Amino acid sequence: MPIDPVAQFQQWYARARRTSLRLPDAMALATADKRGGPSVRMVLLKHADAAGFVFFTDGHSHEGRDLAANPRAALAFHWPPIGRQVRVEGPVEPVSATEADAYWASRPRASRIAACASDQSARLTSREALLSRWQRIRERYRGRPIPRPPAWSGYRVVPDAIEFWTHRPHRLHERERFTRSRTGWRRELLQP
């Protein structure tokens, strides 16, 4: 049977979703700017399959600028209730406009208004200015569809490495790393 670390991820993710975790889809996203300066923040996983791990953000955000300059990223999931972590590394590609539009349409209306009101990661003069802009946009689109801002889209991390970590007593944790090759995935065990 061929090795399929994405299927293993989906099993672990499904198990994490059955726990008491408030946001099992939360993942740390690490990027680097064109000089290699690292940055990390939490984002939400929206889809994972053989093509990759998808999240959405504004292309003008800090992460969007990093990914434009250096299209590689690392992800980390941490699920304490089940004693597991997953790391994903690989190149990043934009999702299609069709995928971005479909996800945009599924978001709560107030979240779409917020995405239009916020110039993500830009300097903010005051919270009141942001709230005022949110109200103006809400009024402008009352009873009408809210168009997706051109810079707001999704990204897909195409894994070339996936590591699974399982908690074990005495810090003798299990680590299993899969690395993509031309012929499929190669599996290796790592010391804790």
pLDDT tens for residues 151-160?
Answer: 999 999 999 9
In the 3-class helix/strand/coil scheme, how is 97-140 assigned residue by residue? HHHHHHHHHHCCHHHHHHHHHCCCCCCCCCHHHHHHHHHHHHHH
**pTM for this model (two decimals):** 0.93
Q: Which stretches of the chain score pLDDT less than 50?
A: none
What confidence score (pLDDT) does residue 188 get?
96
**Residue 5 parent element (H or E):** helix 5-17
- Phi/psi of residue 174, each to 5°? -95, 130
What confidence score (pLDDT) does residue 1 get?
56
What confidence score (pLDDT) does residue 167 get?
97
What confidence score (pLDDT) does residue 115 get?
94
What confidence score (pLDDT) does residue 3 get?
85
What confidence score (pLDDT) does residue 68 get?
96
Counting every residue, how long is the chain? 192
What confidence score (pLDDT) does residue 2 get?
63
Q: Which two tokens stand for residue 92?
A: 């990043």
- DSSP assignment letter at 142: T
What confidence score (pLDDT) does residue 122 get?
83
